[in-house]
Structure 1
Amino acid sequence: MSIQIKNLNKSFGDFHALHDINLNVPTGSLTALLGPSGCGKTTLLRIIAGLENADNGEIWLENQEVSQRHVRERKVGFMFQHYALFRHMNVADNIAFGLTVLPRSQRPSKDEIQHKVNELLKLVQLPHLAKSYPSQLSGGQRQRIALARALATQPKLLLLDEPFGALDAKVRKELRAWLRDIHHELNITSVLVTHDQEEALEMADEIVVMNHGKIEQIGSGAALYENPQSVFVTEFLGEVNVLQGEIFSGSLKIGDYQETRESASNQPQVRVYVRPHEWQISREPVDNAIGQAEIVSQHIWGATVRLAVASPHSEQPVQIVVSPHEQRVAQWQVGEKLWYKPTQTQVFRLPEMVEYVI
């Protein structure tokens, strides 16, 4: 099922929650709505589902305008952060619930329902828990059962609202890969709401970055990460260093570093963004380096070594990531100086203020 949203707006009193939203979700894709708390992503998901009504605009599901259709008519499955399983029902009955409440003309027989429940338990790899109750399950198991229940009525569209937000980091990571595999196996159109950049980058075919009720940018994780179109997207998606520079006579300048920017007009102040892994460093002078700077701290985190470097061109120490092999060869130490040079930059002119709350 494809989704097309046209010129959609939603307000709650004086608060404009969604501003002129236009979005296309192709059939079979897993699309993430990514943004900070209060950016409008859950409101948009609820409007797609039919749980909220937009003030104006159009929602098309599989080439049919559904703005005035009840949630029951949209053939949508839901998976929420807090499971919403019925505590008084066992696992099998929870999964079967959506089928048992269908109108009599659409309701499968008891044998058909039982067969469907068994199939779904196998799909989520929990057939041995059919007679267990939600209180007897782990958080990860509850979410698997919640997904099975969402899929029981064979929805054409699966909507997931922060589905792993209540789980610990290890379980979240396991369930991300598992859910993505199931999504591709079933080829169902899915829309995922999350504020977790890693989750969106790992799972989604396409990411819709939202802020203050507006869509900032749409694209694959790689495209957004490598070519952000705004300060917000640059700062929100992944870790980044912020340096102060200037553009003059067709060149970006940071200290002694120069980079050709022929199409850019003169700007006495620009923000320059460099990812922690986008640096060349050396003990010996480097051609076109920003200059020399002192290592003020060093941290080893898993397979990476992080150096913090005091730079006069940044309010915070510049974070530089090197591989363990590079560290074994170079043996960088706190207190010594290095030459540093960016290998890739993103530049935005000032002032372009960014406001958001994680």
Structure 2
Amino acid sequence: MDRPEVVVLASKYSATTGPLSNASYPTDIPGIDQFQGQMCHTAEWDKTIDFKNKRVAVVGTGASAIQVVPEIQQMNVSELFVFQRTPPWIIPRDDRRISDFEKRLLTYFPIIQKLIRRCLYWSREALVLSFGYRWPTRYVNQELVMSNLNREIKDIELRRKVTPPWDLGCKRVLISSDWYPTLQKPNVKLVTNRIREIKSHSIISQNGDEYPVDIIIWSTGFQTQKFALPIYGINGCSLDEQWSETMKAYRGITVPNFPNLFILLGPNSRLGHSSVIIMLEAQLKYIVETLLYIDKNNLRSFSIKQNVYDAYNQWIQSKLNKTVWHLGGCHSWYQNAKGTVTTIWPDFTWIYHLLMKKFDYQNYILEK
């Protein structure tokens, strides 16, 4: 049912659609529209699908797949084919139920909970030394993850298939304690040959093998190099046009030619080592500081200066070029088609917080 169009007028805008919102489907596999079974994308889940006694294919082995594959396997499917293009690095999920005693302890001594959170935060920040600064600690971290893989996967051939050939952190590191056990279930088969075509009731791999399936689940990620909504700035210039070569923003939040626009989790303000909530908190503080300054000085508009924008992006790319996200030996959704890292913040989160602490009005064109 189509909803009526609503026009909203405002003087300041904040684009908060999130970087992982628009589903991405393969464009290089012929025959998708010929498939006569049921299919959906993990980002556009079809709740009407009945998996019982069905032959199911999950295409992709990223963050969404490692969550849905173990669940689908438990739905009494007859066969589950997992089509893998590239294997991810997996670390175990250190999760458990908090006991009643621990709950009481944290209630009476909240300082303990704060201490735990601090330890967790700094343990994640320490990964920047491996991922961002490429310290030798990266070898220790990778050996720890590899030892977990060897312990979980006993079959030598399967172990070879799920071992990534690039450095830990180059692609998104995934957290799961049931991914490896699920791949070893008798009704699960990992397929590492790329898909050649889709037929009405089957998938054909590049080596000619045919896999009869009733359901296809596309776990093929999101459109991370394109903004989720069309946005237009000065003289009708669209954000897509301005970002046609590469996505860029000043501190991940403002763009020239788009006055009074904030972008949350914009280019190079997402993380490959910790929680993006930390970045969102810094950006929201910056937005509030900006709005307070605008209101106090009775300003009509603000827009980042082009030279400041250019210098900032040159600086951040110079840092990224020395990190695992550029040198790690993979191509990931962190990068655009040319290999430029457009998504990741390359340093400690506390440094980003310091950058975003105050509105740097001197770097903006301000108009009354």
Q: Same fold (TM over 0.5)?
A: no
Tell me the TM-score range normalised by the shorter chain.
Answer: under 0.3
Q: Which of 1 and 2 has greater Rg?
A: 1
* Bigger strand share: 1
Larger relative contact order (CA 8 Å, sep ≥ 6): 2
* Bigger helix share: 2
